[in-house]
């Protein structure tokens, strides 16, 4: 009997197996979906689907750049051991290069394009593998790219009329390193939204009350702290990590003066491995207690 594309798609979604394996399974079982699932299980090809609910918080953040285009990508797995393997690292780096060349519209399009490769890698390494997120940047100025041990990836996009100047290239790289170390939340003080300010003010008040500050002094102290907030969370206002006598804004101005270029920081993109993923904490004592109580 003819095997339809929709049947192959349904089996693939059920099992996580590769497209050709799904087609073969349906052919072998005369199109019986449940029998095809069992066929794949007996061949060990449906095991990837069982790993779909696992927490993948390890992995790698990779960066790649080609002229005026750059990508920072996070690929997750379950253990640090697998993340350091050549196969996993190769997949992550090859995927970043593929993004540069193919320019997918979003993460969903990337996942669909790489679904079969991701599933095969999941089966090969025995852990859930997930293409979590990426940023792709095309610049008309200068790009600074920095990767800190596969754990943090940063891209800085400078708007400038002399992007090929060595001093400007160095500036872009220095700012990318700074972003990795200082973790700014915003580009400038103009970008700090009121919700963020209000949340910070609430935290300050709670801290001051905990410290036992007099009630009538708290609001003035909070105002003072909010006045200094930009230096803590805004890239342009932060002291440069390699020379705290300079803010990033001053560093940019100095480089512009030396090169005769117009330079401004257009945007920055930072990605930290596992950021926002709630890791499952295993408790061996609890597991043993559960097992013994059932006996």
Q: What is the CATH number of the domain that holds 102?
A: 3.30.479.20
pLDDT(295) > 50: no
Same domain for 116 and 70? Answer: yes
Total tally of structural domains belonging to the chain = 3
Least confident range of 23-37, 87-101, 258-272: 23-37
Same domain for 125 and 197? Answer: no
Same domain for 63 and 24? Answer: no
Exposure letters 261-284 (e unless 16+ CB within 10 A, then b)? bebebbebbbbebbeebeeeeeee
Q: Are 135 and 271 in contact (CB under 8 A)?
A: yes
Whether this prediction's pTM lies above 0.85 is answered by no
CATH number at residue 9: 1.10.8.10
Same domain for 76 and 115? Answer: yes
Q: What 8-state DSSP symbol labels residue 8?
A: H
In-domain check, residue 258: no
pLDDT(101) > 90: yes
In-domain check, residue 168: no
Calculate mean pLDDT across residues 172-187. 97
Same domain for 66 and 126? Answer: yes
pLDDT(279) > 70: no
For 202-247, the pLDDT digits (tens) are: 989 989 998 999 999 999 999 999 989 999 999 999 999 999 999 9
pLDDT(120) > 80: yes
Same domain for 66 and 120? Answer: yes
**Average pLDDT along the chain:** 89
Q: Are 258 and 167 in contact (CB under 8 A)?
A: yes
Same domain for 46 and 60? Answer: no
Alpha carbon distance 248, 228 (integer Å): 16
Exposure letters 201-216 (e unless 16+ CB within 10 A, then b)? beebbeebeeeeeeee
Same domain for 131 and 65? Answer: yes
In-domain check, residue 254: no
Same domain for 66 and 102? Answer: yes
pLDDT at res. 53: 52
CA atoms within 13 A on the CB side of 191: 14
Instruction: Provide the percentage of residues in the chain whose pLDDT is more than 70.
Output: 88
In-domain check, residue 159: no
Mark out the alpha helices in the chain (DSSP H runs): 5-15, 19-28, 33-42, 47-50, 80-83, 86-102, 107-113, 115-125, 166-182, 194-210, 215-227, 229-233, 248-259, 284-293
Identify any residues that bridge with 263 across adjacent strands, giving them in sequence order.
Answer: 160
Same domain for 104 and 119? Answer: yes
Alpha carbon distance 239, 274 (integer Å): 27
**Which residue range is the domain that position 23 belongs to?**
5-50
């Amino acid at each position: 009997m003819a095997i339809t594309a929709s049947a192959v798609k349904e089996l693939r979604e059920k099992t996580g197996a590769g497209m050709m394996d799904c087609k073969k399974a349906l052919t072998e079982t005369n199109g019986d979906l449940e029998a095809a699932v069992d066929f794949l299980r007996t061949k060990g090809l449906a095991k990837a689907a069982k790993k779909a609910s696992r927490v993948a918080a390890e992995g790698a953040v990779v960066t790649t750049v080609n002229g005026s285009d750059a990508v920072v990508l996070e690929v997750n797995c379950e253990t640090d051991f697998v993340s350091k393997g050549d196969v996993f690292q190769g997949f992550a780096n090859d995927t970043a290069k593929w993004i540069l060349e193919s320019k997918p519209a979003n993460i969903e399009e990337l996942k669909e394009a790489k679904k079969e490769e991701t599933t095969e890698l999941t089966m090969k390494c025995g852990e859930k593998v997930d293409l979590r997120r990426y940023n792709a940047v095309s610049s008309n100025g200068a790009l600074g790219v920095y990767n800190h041990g596969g754990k943090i990836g940063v891209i800085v996009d400078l708007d400038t009329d002399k992007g090929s100047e060595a001093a400007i290239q160095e500036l872009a790289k220095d700012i990318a390193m700074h972003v990795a170390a200082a973790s700014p939340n915003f580009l400038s003080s103009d970008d700090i939204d009121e919700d963020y300010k209000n949340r910070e003010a609430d935290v300050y008040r709670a801290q001051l009350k905990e410290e036992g500050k007099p009630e009538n002094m708290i609001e003035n102290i909070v105002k003072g702290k909010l006045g200094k907030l930009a230096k803590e969370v805004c890239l342009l206002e932060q002291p440069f990590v390699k020379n705290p006598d300079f803010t990033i804004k001053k560093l940019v101005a100095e480089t512009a003066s030396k090169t005769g270029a117009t330079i401004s920081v257009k945007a920055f993109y930072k990605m930290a491995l596992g950021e926002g993923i709630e890791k499952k904490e295993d408790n061996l004592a609890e597991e043993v207690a559960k097992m013994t109580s059932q006996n």
